[in-house]
A = this chain, B = another copy of it.
């Protein structure tokens, strides 16, 4: 039986064999969970995703959303899986019990989410997006606000959003123009228009609570004058029930390249002058609240792209096993046709896809583990190490997985040939759906600025040095494994060279004469780090797998382990040489993109 969405064997491998997440289950925080319960959760999530969410994916895309008189109507087929997600409390699997969630380890929630996101990110987000709003209220709200909102948001009974973007304030949040005026009762009257609001309106829940970024009259310019307000669709009565309608309304939904089942709304606040919000946290400190959500949002987006890539690869590899076309290369002209997985170029393409899907799968959960260890590690030293790695790597998770994940999805279409261009298969939809991940929650360019401008120099570069040291440890291990010696050397050479170019680009970025030039190479630099991380992760996988090849494992497991070693070998010999080329390019740090005159770009 062909695997769908995510390779279950690969989840087991990453979870228990590569990263030994069992050590986290020994922590006091997770005492109610053991290996068996974790596996049961993932198995259940997988079944629900495949049986109930996945069948709605193409239909949701085709039907799209209806917008009528301020209301968004989702495809009818979303209602059943939405209800099942709520009944099973899947949306709040990883949310702490004190907030009304299930309190499962967040890494288990992440693995389960891979299935849900690949099956239907839209359906999953309608059920789960209230968690983000709830988390903000949990961290910064008054006791009354927590009582009023948190549990209903966590249960999915009410929906949550994030009203940030305006037509002139996209990446530049500080440019927002929505205003807030304090009323005598302590509430604020909000006036403004927001765009690109995910789940801004929909007919799957009775109330939606909007965290809204706005500027209080007289506040400082830019991000220093931004405050955060809670604006529910319906006010909440003292008994927790719903009161009157607030003056916030959806004014339309975007027609998009993909994610057509997910409502991307434009919202009007106070078009009748009666939009009332409550301050969340302190005045002018809205960005602080936002920033606590940034890393989680980046991780979420990386996981979304990874899920599409994973699902697309599984569709492609299994199509390639079934699709008969052409005789084998070099065979006589009357030889029978074979499955296209036998053709060299198809194999190259599949193995390239697999390299990234496997590598990114490990990369994501490595950083996920760092995030958990930053809280759960025994020593402060370890906490600092893991926290540093988590901070350093989140922009790479976001941007690199979005971009490479998209490329994997596009190659999925290519494996299918003409059939891949039709909507008879999901590969074309996965590519369209995935494209947003390099744009929202901060474009790739923004992530690259964060990496070069903030993260590379954290603690005088010690965080980055630790990162290189961690890779070196895997290379050291690999040297002791028969057959991996050359790969270990390749990875060591990558690390050495990365150290050199990071000094070069770091210096260029901090010189007043050249900093713009450095930032013109920031995204290639981020991608080089990403590609090197993939080499690291594939080597790590090979270290675990190589000793098991030819061992006592089942035939199926043997093939899996062989796949790990061969994938690493492929990547080291075909992709790694190109990474050195990329690093040569960054070292040259050409000023051409900065020096060229604006008119010289042409098109005038």
Stretch of A45-53, A117-125, A142-150, A322-330 lying at the B interface: A322-330
Q: Please provide the 7 A-B residue pairs with the shortest distance between their CB atoms, ordered closest to farther.
A: A581-B581, A573-B590, A563-B600, A570-B592, A345-B445, A559-B599, A577-B584
A355 to B566, CA, bound (A): 36
- Contact status of A344 and B520, CB under 8 A, knowing A3-B603, A560-B600: yes
B603 x A334 contact (CB < 8 A): no
B interface footprint on A582-601 (CB within 8 Å = 1, 0 otherwise): 10110010101111111111
A559 to B314, CA, bound (A): 49
Contact of A603 among B2, B170, B576 (CB under 8 A): B2
In the assembled complex, how far is the CB of residue A97 from the closest CB belonging to chain B, in whole angstroms? 36
Q: A593: which B residues are within 8 A, CB to CB?
A: 344, 347-348, 350-351, 570
- Contact status of A333 and B222, CB under 8 A, knowing A351-B596, A573-B585: yes
Query: Is chain A's interface secondary structure helix, strand, loop, or mixed overall?
Result: helix
Contact of A578 among B518, B562, B578 (CB under 8 A): B578
A196: interface (CB < 8 Å): yes
Give chain A interface residues in 234-283, CB to chain B under 8 Å: 254-258
A577 x B566 contact (CB < 8 A): no
Give chain A interface residues in 385-418, CB to chain B under 8 Å: 406, 410, 413-414, 417-418
A421 x B444 contact (CB < 8 A): no
Contact of A317 among B321, B517, B560, B603 (CB under 8 A): B603
A588 x B559 contact (CB < 8 A): no
A171: interface (CB < 8 Å): yes
A313: interface (CB < 8 Å): yes
Contact of A330 among B313, B344, B423, B516 (CB under 8 A): B516
B590 x A584 contact (CB < 8 A): no
A596 x B562 contact (CB < 8 A): yes
B592 x A523 contact (CB < 8 A): no
Q: A421: which B residues are within 8 A, CB to CB?
A: 254, 256-258, 435-436, 439
A329 x B596 contact (CB < 8 A): no
- Contact status of A422 and B257, CB under 8 A, knowing A414-B443, A602-B7: yes
A325 x B515 contact (CB < 8 A): no
In the assembled complex, how far is the CB of residue A54 from the closest CB belonging to chain B, in whole angstroms? 16
A432: interface (CB < 8 Å): yes
B171 x A562 contact (CB < 8 A): no
Q: A329: which B residues are within 8 A, CB to CB?
A: 515-516, 519
A590 to B578, CA, bound (A): 13
A161: interface (CB < 8 Å): no
In the assembled complex, how far is the CB of residue A593 from the closest CB belonging to chain B, in whole angstroms? 4
A346: interface (CB < 8 Å): yes
A440: interface (CB < 8 Å): yes
B602 x A574 contact (CB < 8 A): no
Give chain A interface residues in 160-191, CB to chain B under 8 Å: 165, 168, 170-172, 175
A439 to B582, CA, bound (A): 28
The residue on B at minimum CB distance from A223 is B333
A384 to B227, CA, bound (A): 73
A329 to B522, CA, bound (A): 13
A337 to B596, CA, bound (A): 20
Q: A413: which B residues are within 8 A, CB to CB?
A: 257, 435, 439
Q: A444: which B residues are within 8 A, CB to CB?
A: 414
A349: interface (CB < 8 Å): yes
A256 x B422 contact (CB < 8 A): yes
Q: A598: which B residues are within 8 A, CB to CB?
A: 321, 341-342
Contact of A346 among B348, B445, B556 (CB under 8 A): B445
A579: interface (CB < 8 Å): yes
B interface footprint on A275-301 (CB within 8 Å = 1, 0 otherwise): 000000000000000000000000000
